[in-house]
Structure 1
Amino acid sequence: MPPPAIPVPANATTVEVAVRWSDMDAYGHVNNVQYLRYLEEARVYAFHEWFGQERSLLEDGVLVARSEIDYLAPMTFSYEPALVTLWCSAISGASFDISYVVGQRGSDLTFAKAESTLVTYDLTAQRPRRIAEHERAAMESVAGEPLLLRSHKDRRAH
Structure 2
Amino acid sequence: MEHRKKLIHVTKMPIRWGDMDAYGHVNNTVYFRFMEQARVEWLEDLKVEVRPGGDGPVIINASCTFLIPMNYPGQVEVRTFVGAVGRSSCQTYVEMRIEGDDRLYAEGAAKVVWMDTLTGKSVPLPEHVRAVLEAE
TM range (shorter): 0.7 to 0.9
- Matched position secondary structure for 2:39: helix
Residue 56 of structure 2: aligned partner:
61
Residue 156 of structure 1: aligned partner:
none
TM-fit CA distance, 1:47: 1.6
Evaluate the alpha carbon distance shift between residue 131 and residue 10 of structure 1 in structure 2; reply closer, same or farther with a 3 A threshold.
closer
Letter in 1 for 2:114: T
Residue 35 of structure 1: aligned partner:
31
TM-fit CA distance, 1:8: 9.7
Q: Which runs of 5+ in 2 are unaligned?
A: none
Per-residue CA deviations over 1:82-123 (Å, capped at 9, x if unaligned) read: 100002111111111111000011223211011100110112
Evaluate the alpha carbon distance shift between residue 126 and residue 8 of structure 1 in structure 2; reply closer, same or farther with a 3 A threshold.
closer
TM-score by length of 1: 0.74
Matched, 1:136 2:130: yes
Residue 112 of structure 1: aligned partner:
106
Q: Quote the RMSD (CA, aligned, Å).
A: 2.3
Report runs of 4+ in structure 1 exceeding 3 Å deviation.
6-12, 57-60
Evaluate the alpha carbon distance shift between residue 94 and residue 57 of structure 1 in structure 2; reply closer, same or farther with a 3 A threshold.
farther
Letter in 1 for 2:78: V
Per-residue CA deviations over 1:55-74 (Å, capped at 9, x if unaligned) read: x1534411110111111111
Letter in 2 for 1:139: L
Residue 19 of structure 1: aligned partner:
15
Task: Measure, in 1, the Cα distance between the counterparts of 2:6 and 2:125.
Answer: 24
Q: 1:101 aligns with which of 79, 91, 95?
A: 95
Evaluate the alpha carbon distance shift between residue 73 and residue 67 of structure 1 in structure 2; reply closer, same or farther with a 3 A threshold.
same
The total of aligned residue pairs comes to 132
Which structure carries more helix by proportion? 1
TM-fit CA distance, 1:126: 2.7
Which structure carries more strand by proportion? 2
Task: Measure, in 2, the Cα distance between the counterparts of 1:84 and 1:128.
Answer: 28
Residue 75 of structure 1: aligned partner:
70
8 Å CA contact 2:59–2:111 kept in 1: the answer is: yes
Task: Measure, in 2, the Cα distance between the counterparts of 1:130 and 1:9.
Answer: 21
